Structure 1
Amino acid sequence: MTIRSTEARHPAAQGLHRQPAAQAMALLLEAQRGALAALVPAIPALGRAAEAGVAALRGGGRMGYAGAGSSGLMALADCLELPGTFGLAPDRTPMLFAGGPDALLRMHGGVEDDPALALADLDRAGLGRGDALLVVSASGTTPYALAVATAARARGVTVTGIANVAGSALLDAAEIAVLLDTGAEMVAGSTRMGAATAQKVALNMISVMVGIGLGHVHDGQMVNLIADNAKLVDRAARIVAELAGVPRPEAEAALARTGGAVKPAILVARGAAPDTASDALRDSGGHLAPLMG
């Protein structure tokens, strides 16, 4: 029987338990850095995944996430950040997590082996033609992830499969295959380590490119954020002031005129009427760049 690369023993782990704490932690950190190298050859596929997400969301569809265990947690972490960072409504980015909310407090391994649960979650999410789905599984063989990917693709969903083992079933089942070949873990089989680190960075890259493609990132600023706490209200004002080139009080006044919406507030601070700003953004597909002169 062939051992999956994520289950093999890392050569640097020999005698790890005998190392002084500082040395052991240095080895653990180096392994995490090494895992990130797997992202380099995956960049073209990650770009296609982002393009699929942009196409789905721009067309009125949704971009969902799916996974189980630690891989599911990485997907969930990215998914939950999208409303605050990019202003995407939660119903536009559904999360399919094996075991649902209960599994977030106590992880139950059995749920990841249940294809029927996966299909029920997919039915509940209602994903179909015109939507995109990011499915994450370190081994690429998790039954929950495979069932979701296979059924979603049959329903016309553009499925991106992200796995850490070459030739795995998830990569074969997906329309867009993203291999993050992170290899052996410092604790053999503990894919919450190098594999999960690479997954989280990959998902960060995809979602940021989706934000850029939708016009929600301009010069590295989150110009479509939802300012629902004091920190973000302050950030919104700083963004408007910086990008519009106006003093802070003028930025705050512009935000008040746009109901806190950052993109139109930037144009209002530059002299546009609120209605004119909204119309211009609609015509530019939500992108500020063509409107900034």
Structure 2
Amino acid sequence: MLEKLRELTTEMKNEQTRDLDNLSIPQIVKLMNEEDKKVAAAVEEVLEDVAKAAELIVASLKNGGRLFYFGAGTSGRLGVLDAAECPPTFGTDPSLVTGVIAGGPSALVRSVEGAEDSQGLGQEDVRKCGVRAGDVVVGIAASGRTPYVIGALTEAKARQAVTISLSCNSGSLIDHEVDASINVVVGPEVVAGSTRLKAGTAQKMVLNMLTTAAMIKLGKVYGNLMVNVQATNGKLRERVKRIVMDVTGLSYREAEKLTDAAAGDARAAIVMHKTGLGRSEASQLLLHTGGNVRQALEMWAKMG
């Protein structure tokens, strides 16, 4: 087991950082920055795999499926983070994207390292989440061999869910029989084996791509604007007004008035402005297109 771990890229010693403890702080952060530059290049190497996975997610969500992330340690925390940011950013139901970490919610703030060693726990968590056919399960493990993640993917496959693996080693064990695999090989870490560094950054980048691409294709974005953002605080209410100003060309006061008339919904405000419809009619139009602003406007143009 130990010998196999030593063979993993994520566990190898980085020849560029052998004298790390002798460096000054400016030298340390410069060296870390140099290593971090390699992450984007590594992600670029697997963009086709990321795109394939995103397409599977879009197909599932469009057909009523849900997206689940399962991981342990840093990988699990990153999955939970990505899932938690979807509702405020894209206005999704919290149940659409769910992040699950080995050891449960307490593992988010305090390490529960032993939890990752149980395949059974991964299987049990999939069952607890009620994963079913048509859902997508993404197993995240920097090493590519975490038993908890293997168990989660195995149970998900048995339930006929779409399965995707994300690791930072080539030929990972979690790749076995999945529908899509993403292996971002970032090389040895600055601190040997500390996969919260380059591996964690790579995983964060990929997760960003998966959900962002999916939400764009689900109509949660108009142009490059997060029109489905939920105005739940002062900052987000101001963002909605800026979005409306950007799309319509209205002044701040005009956009504020329109946004109020649209009950804070940027999508409705845009449709109201571009069609002359009232909020109720604009909302009905959006309902027919699943909240997709562009499709709603195209539908209105055909009706006219």
* Total equivalences in the alignment: 293
In structure 2, the partner of 1:12 is 16
Instruction: Establish whether residue 272 from structure 1 lines up as the match of residue 277 from structure 2.
Output: yes
Aligned pairs for 1:117-196 (under 5 A) are: 117-196=121-200
For 2:28, which of 20, 24, 30 is the aligned residue? 24
In structure 1, the partner of 2:211 is 207
Write the letter of the residue equivalent to 2:171: G
Give the aligned CA root-mean-square deviation in angstroms: 1.6
Shift, 1:132, TM fit: 1.0
Instruction: Establish whether residue 282 from structure 1 lines up as the match of residue 287 from structure 2.
Output: yes
For 1:40, which of 41, 44, 64 is the aligned residue? 44
- What is the SS of the residue equivalent to 2:171? coil
Instruction: Establish whether residue 227 from structure 1 lines up as the match of residue 231 from structure 2.
Output: yes
- What is the SS of the residue equivalent to 2:176? helix
C-alpha separation in 2, matches of 1:132 and 1:254: 38
- What is the SS of the residue equivalent to 2:57? helix
5+ residue gaps in structure 1? Answer: none
Shift, 1:285, TM fit: 4.1
Worse-matched range after superposition: 38-47 or 267-276: 267-276
CA displacement 1:217-253 (0-9 Å, x = unmatched)? 1221101111111100110111112112222233233
Work out whether residues 36 and 197 of structure 1, in 8 Å CA contact, stay in contact via their aligned partners in 2: no
Work out whether residues 246 and 269 of structure 1, in 8 Å CA contact, stay in contact via their aligned partners in 2: no
C-alpha separation in 1, matches of 2:137 and 2:254: 41
In structure 2, the partner of 1:83 is 87
Shift, 1:123, TM fit: 1.2
C-alpha separation in 1, matches of 2:33 and 2:189: 12
Aligned pairs for 1:88-103 (under 5 A) are: 88-103=92-107
Work out whether residues 58 and 217 of structure 2, in 8 Å CA contact, stay in contact via their aligned partners in 1: yes
C-alpha separation in 1, matches of 2:222 and 2:213: 11
Work out whether residues 34 and 182 of structure 1, in 8 Å CA contact, stay in contact via their aligned partners in 2: yes
C-alpha separation in 1, matches of 2:233 and 2:57: 27
Shift, 1:161, TM fit: 0.5
Work out whether residues 65 and 95 of structure 1, in 8 Å CA contact, stay in contact via their aligned partners in 2: yes
5+ residue gaps in structure 2? Answer: none
Identity of aligned residues (%): 35
Instruction: Establish whether residue 50 from structure 1 lines up as the match of residue 86 from structure 2.
Output: no
TM-score (norm 2): 0.92
Work out whether residues 129 and 155 of structure 1, in 8 Å CA contact, stay in contact via their aligned partners in 2: yes
C-alpha separation in 1, matches of 2:197 and 2:87: 27
Write the letter of the residue equivalent to 1:181: V
- What is the SS of the residue equivalent to 1:219? coil
